[in-house]
Structure 1
Amino acid sequence: MKILVLGGSKFLGRAYVVDALARGHQVTTFNRGVSGADLDHVEAVRGDRTRPEDLERLVDGRRWDAVVDTSGQQPYDVAQTARLLRGRAGHYSFVSSVHAFADWPARPVDESSRTLDCPADTPQDQPFATALKAGCERALLEQFGEHSSVLNCGLLYGPHEPIGRLPWWLERIARGGRVLAPGDPARPMQLIDARDFAAFGLDLIDQGLTGRFVTTAPIGRTTYGDFLDACVRATGSDAELVWTDDATLLAAQVEPWSELPLWAPDTPDWQGAWRADSAKAVAAGLRCRPVAETARDTWAWLRNGGSAKVTYTQGLTGVPIGIEAEKEQRILAG
């Protein structure tokens, strides 16, 4: 097939391109050329999706069997893109997020869960807000309807991760010593390797399946203990994990999710963080590799020159990824 990937040069978009090429598809990528190098064997079109003239140049004389949108963040931009691609592409697959659901992370969610209030015609250039993904979904559905799929992504990780959550843990554990490990090691987690997400998204396109799919690992697939143990094994470190209960960490003003990456305390605001029901996606063929494999591959990527942008956690809290060494040591000292 001919597939257009909006994005396609970093992390998830890159994973889509690698897999699509391996399947023998013809791939066009559309991006600004600033986030990463294009892969070989693609038709790379440079442009900014916020500029109508760039979009017009993209669609001029081209048609695709399917579109994969990994870069849509603003409803206005998704509406503009989908409007131009309607009639030029048979299927439009949009990568959304569990953040689009009104009750996440406080409550469990599935495909029937209510999404946040954000209209499809939201004006352009909105400041960051989780509701924008819900508006993007509505903008797409208005244009492509039953010829679209919405994949509500869970926690993505793996090689080429730009946010730096798994890389932070790998690099911290590689330094060794006593490592502050958050909460209960038996607490379930749901993590999905970007390569597995992309493979599932392409499977849906190959099979002509549409609709909404909560796309993350099955509930209870792994635990926080499994996750950090995998980091220890991947790095070959002599680190000692010092498991510390939620109450102690909260009393020390440790920021959930970001200071100790992916820590979701057992409090009402976080009860549904690792309870997104992906049963529909699993039934449609979603498969998730073991956490140990992703940790090993991500460590190999880092050791071979990979670099994660350890930065602010998606604009949600303003807290940098990873706890400061002095603060960690104060908590460990009790």
Structure 2
Amino acid sequence: MKILVLGGSAFLGRAYVSEALRRGHEVTTFNRGLSGSDQPGAEAVRGDRTSAADLERLVAGRRWDAVVDTAGQQPSDVLLSAGLLSEHADHYTFVSSIHAFTDWGTQVVNEDSATYPCPADTPAGQAPGNHLKAGCERAVLERFGAGRSLILNCGLLVGPHENVGRLSWWLERVARGGQVLAPGDPERALQHIDARDFAVFGLDLLERGTTGRFLTTGPTGAATMKGLLDACVEATGGRAELVWVPDERLLAAEVQPWTELPLWTPDQPGWEAIWLADTSRAQAAGLRCRPIMDTARDTWDWLRERGPTAEPYVQGTTPLGIDPGKERKVIAG
């Protein structure tokens, strides 16, 4: 197949390109060349998806069997790119987010759950962040139609080449050794997916010409907070001592969930169903997820190969990770 990947140089897009090349597909990537390196074997076309001129240059005289869009963030930009590509491709996979569902975090969601009412032509900055992916989905459906579109609502992504750094932060913190602040209930179930497993499943569906929507993340309870941190300890050499501190003490100490201690979600209103998305439809369609130990080990190997970086890990604009002094103070009680 001839596949166009919008993005294709960072994390999930990179995983898609690697897997597609491994399967023998002909891959073209379209990006600005700012977020990562091109992969050998893929044709790299430089351009900005917000520019009609760049998109017209991309599609001139070309046709693909499928488009994979891992980088769409703004509905109006997706409307533009999907519109220009609709006559040049047969199928469009859009990687959306679990955040597009209005009830995510507070109730169990599945593919039939309501999404935010964000119009397809919403310009940048005109809707809250959680709403934007829903608008991007509508843009794809308006331009390609339900019969040529596949929407994958992505859960928490982890793995090598992660560009947010949640698992990477934990691995690097644990690798420094000493007492490590371990948050909340050790048996709190997590729900994540390795980007490589996501790409395998997405390409399986694409090759079958599948359309519709799939909530694409790991099954609930495939890992726990303890399982994840134990995997980090083992992967990095076992020099750290995990010190478990309950939610109440962490909140009293004003530790920020999700950012100061990545992946920590306290057991309180607003967070009660964050790790309970129903993935049964995706599993029935063939989604398979590797154990967290494998992901932790591979991510640690990649981090050592990559080497230290001066850039902080961030969630949006918020730096990830707790200050060492604050961590010691919380542990001491």
What's the TM-score once normalised by structure 1's chain length? 0.97
Q: Quick one: which amino acid aligns to residue 43 of structure 1?
A: E
Q: 1:12 to 1:48 in 2, by over 3 A?
A: same
Give the corresponding residue for 2:329. Answer: 330
Give the corresponding residue for 1:257. Answer: 258
Q: Distance in 2 between matches of 1:128 and 1:262?
A: 22
Q: 1:154 to 1:28 in 2, by over 3 A?
A: same
- Cα displacement (A) at 1:3: 0.2
8 Å Cα contact 2:169-2:313 kept in structure 1: no
Q: Quick one: which amino acid aligns to residue 21 of structure 1?
A: L
Give the corresponding residue for 1:80. Answer: 80
Give the corresponding residue for 1:14. Answer: 14
Cα deviations by residue, 1:90-130 (Å, 9 ceiling, x for unpaired): 11000000111111112211101111121111124547611
Give the corresponding residue for 2:138. Answer: 138
Matched, 1:69 2:69: yes
Q: Distance in 2 between matches of 1:140 and 1:218?
A: 27
Residue aligned with 2:181, SS: strand
Question: 2:312 aligned to 305, 310, 313, which one?
Answer: 310
Q: 1:222 to 1:215 in 2, by over 3 A?
A: same
Q: Which 10-residue stretch deviates more, 52-61 or 125-134?
A: 125-134
Residue aligned with 1:304, SS: helix
Residue aligned with 1:39, SS: coil
8 Å Cα contact 1:160-1:306 kept in structure 2: no
Q: Residues 118-133 of structure 1: matches in 2 within 5 Å? A: 118-124=118-124, 126=126, 129-133=129-133
Structure 1, unaligned runs of 5 or more: none
Q: Distance in 2 between matches of 1:212 and 1:178?
A: 43
8 Å Cα contact 1:168-1:310 kept in structure 2: no
Q: Percent identity?
A: 64
Q: Distance in 2 between matches of 1:147 and 1:186?
A: 41
Q: Quick one: which amino acid aligns to residue 216 of structure 2?
A: T
Computed over aligned residues only, the root mean square deviation of the Cα atoms, in angstroms, reads: 1.2
Q: Residues 40-51 of structure 1: matches in 2 within 5 Å? A: 40-51=40-51
- Cα displacement (A) at 1:47: 0.1
Structure 2, unaligned runs of 5 or more: none
Q: Quick one: which amino acid aligns to residue 215 of structure 2?
A: V
Give the corresponding residue for 1:320. Answer: 319
Q: 1:3 to 1:307 in 2, by over 3 A?
A: farther
8 Å Cα contact 2:118-2:127 kept in structure 1: no
Q: Which 10-residue stretch deviates more, 32-41 or 127-136?
A: 127-136
Q: Quick one: which amino acid aligns to residue 51 of structure 2?
A: R
Give the corresponding residue for 2:151. Answer: 150
Give the corresponding residue for 1:54. Answer: 54
Q: 1:307 to 1:30 in 2, by over 3 A?
A: farther
Q: Residues 162-181 of structure 1: matches in 2 within 5 Å? A: 162-181=163-182
Q: Distance in 2 between matches of 1:170 and 1:103?
A: 31
- Cα displacement (A) at 1:310: 3.4
**Number of matched pairs:** 331
